[in-house]
Amino acid sequence: MKKSVLLSFLLSILFSVGLFAQSSFKIHSHNDYLQKVPFWDAYSGGAQSIEADVILENGKLTVAHEKESIDPNKTLSSLYFEPIQKGLALGLIEEIDFTLLVDLKTEAYSTLDKVIEEAQKFESIFYSDSNPEGLKLIISGSRPKVEDYSKYPSFIEFDYQSRDLDASLPWDKIGMVSLSFRSFSVWNGKGRIVESELKPIEEFVAKVHSFNKPVRFWATPDSKTSWNAFAMMGVDYINTDDPKGAFDYLQVYRKNTFTQAERHDLYQPKFISQPNTPKQIILMIGDGMGLAQISAGMVGNGGQLNLGNLKQMALVKTHAADDFTTDSAAGATAYATGEKTNNRAIGVDPNGQILANLPEKIQPLGWNSGVVTTDQMTGATPSSFYAHHSERDDSAILASWLSKSPLNLFIGGGKKTFQTEMENLKNSGFQLAQSVEEIENSRSEKVGFFASQDGIPAMQDGRGVLFDESVEAALAFLKEKNKPFFLMVESGMIDSGGHANDSEKIVREMVNFDKVIGDVIKFADENSGTLVLVTADHETGGVALPQGNVKKGEVELSYYSDDHTGIMVPLFAYGAGSEEFSGIIENSEVHQIIMKLIQRK
């Protein structure tokens, strides 16, 4: 590649991704010379050890694996020494935080002498007493005898390749210790390495570390699972043909892995015989909650959830009227009205015509209704149960609908949006409570509580038991009226965790939601005729769970995106009429089944 093209590539890569800081995970770019742009691909990808196979042919150091593949234009100097020198001169390499592993494919002594001769042309970039921050070469492949290591310059170190390790070795000239992974294991990088093979590897790594030297294995499997495994084993240089992919994965692995500290005991449902017609219906929506989020919460809670005790299940298709992938507005509107609509629409059909929601439909039948959410009250899910508007972000318009709705109760955030609506809410009969406790003891026909001026905090930001107590208070208030009721309960921040690819938020919100689910199931057992439905409006993040540890409550979440996906979501049903929910159904059918149960004679 021409030098000008190389530098243009370098500028575009380094100034778009930035120079990488030292990482606790070190990447070894195996056979780096096979990359599209040797050295720069590895350096911009975060590698801290870069490998070049070298052949001495006709007095020239060419970079190739075997003589048949030699390209005379690809030399150790042109692919490595010159780019490093130019990078330092231009300030594109601020510091040398990497080594070059030079794998000699021809006779050790003559080839190494030529490497040193070539390096001396670039003396300013190499390590010396006067340049302690300079580049070091680690010589691998064909190497001199161990007793000769000390004869070579200070910028030359060696890749020691033996299990025979003792204090007599010239450790000051050994840059790393490397062995073939196949001498320890036949693991292919899928699943887990067996314990009988893992233990000798860990013992070897520990022995090398006892001499304060790094470890590398070659002939390794090359996958996310194996990168993770080697990092967890304490391997210092992780061998890969995809340095950027490995670096990116290992950098986010710790962020994507969370150990849940707050566990709750399960409530054991009694599965009491229930009447066919429910008198209380509690629809619980985990915004953004798919099977992976449920599974992550289960690991975070020590391998068990209240959801895991429920037996009646269905799968729900979430597509919007105008899009394969729904947003919360269209998803919640389907649950609230029984009709699919366009994304962004709240309580209206694709043509903008008002659709009656559940609270509006059941009020003439003598039912009360309420909404509890960890979101703002103008959030897409709660507003779908009281408002009608074609744009979910018109918060002021959505807020104006609350006083007109038949809701008997609301609890949520976002008081600031309702400042001009306070008198309307009071005039429509709402007692505006100042605390959750005030709701539980209220004898008003309608009560509301704004739990925050803006958003309600997430669990990781100190929400504590607010959600739990809000649902408890809502159930006590509605039960006291001695009328049938419908209550929508939303856990809104599983979704925001998915959007942010925030594993801690997903797990902690999921575990808290499950705690509330247990409380609601207990209420159902204590109040005959209660139907509990737990589902989601959609899945968020395209989440998968590559690995975890149930005993530790530790789980890794991997993300396909930072947006919603079109995958089906589960629905769990418990109590009166729960047998009606099974198979694969549309989200709009959930509403239709609820209405069928309410209207049963």
Which phi and psi angles does 119 have, rounded to 5°? -65, -35
514 annotated ligand-binding residue: no
447 φ/ψ angles, rounded to the nearest 5 degrees: -145, 145
490 is in an annotated binding site: yes
Contact 264, 514 (CB under 8 A): yes
220 is in an annotated binding site: no
Strand locations in 255-401, DSSP E? 257-259, 280-286, 312-317, 368-376
Q: Using alpha carbons only, what angle is made at residue 476 by residues 455 and 488, rounded to the nearest 5 degrees?
A: 50
Instruction: Work out the number of other CB atoms within 10 angstroms of the CB of residue 102.
Output: 25
Q: What is the CA radius of gyration of the chain?
A: 32
User: Half-sphere exposure (CA, 13 Å, Cβ side) for 52?
Assistant: 27
Handedness of CA 35, 36, 37, 43 (dihedral sign): negative
499 has binding-site annotation: yes
Output the CA torsion sign for 300, 301, 302, 306.
negative
Dist. CA 159–CA 152, nearest whole Å = 14
- For tokens 């050790």, the residue is 108
Buried b (16+ CB within 10 A) or exposed e, 201-228: beebbeebeeeebbbbbbebbebbbbbb
Instruction: Give the span between the Cα atoms of 142 and 158, in whole angstroms.
Output: 10
Is 564 annotated in some ligand binding site? no
Partners of 571 in beta bridges? 314
Distance of CA 233 to the CA centre of its chain: 22
68 is in an annotated binding site: no
**Structure-token match 């429920």, residue found:** 310
Q: Which of 44, 49, 328, 578 is catalytic?
A: 328
Token digits of residue 296: 């992550």
Which residues are bridge partners to 574 per DSSP? Answer: 532
| Helix pair angle (82-90, 3-17), 10° resolution | 50
Q: Was 495 annotated as part of a binding site?
A: yes
Helix (H) or strand (E) holding 497: helix 493-499
Active site residue 24: no
> What's the rounded Cα separation, in Å, for the pair 240 and 223?
8
The whole-angstrom separation of Cα 179 and Cα 224 is: 21
Q: What is the largest CA-CA distance in the chain?
A: 97
Q: Binding site for Zn(2+): residue ranges? A: 287, 495, 499, 537-538
Binding site, annotated residues: 287, 381, 490, 495, 499, 537-538
Q: Which residues are catalytic?
A: 328
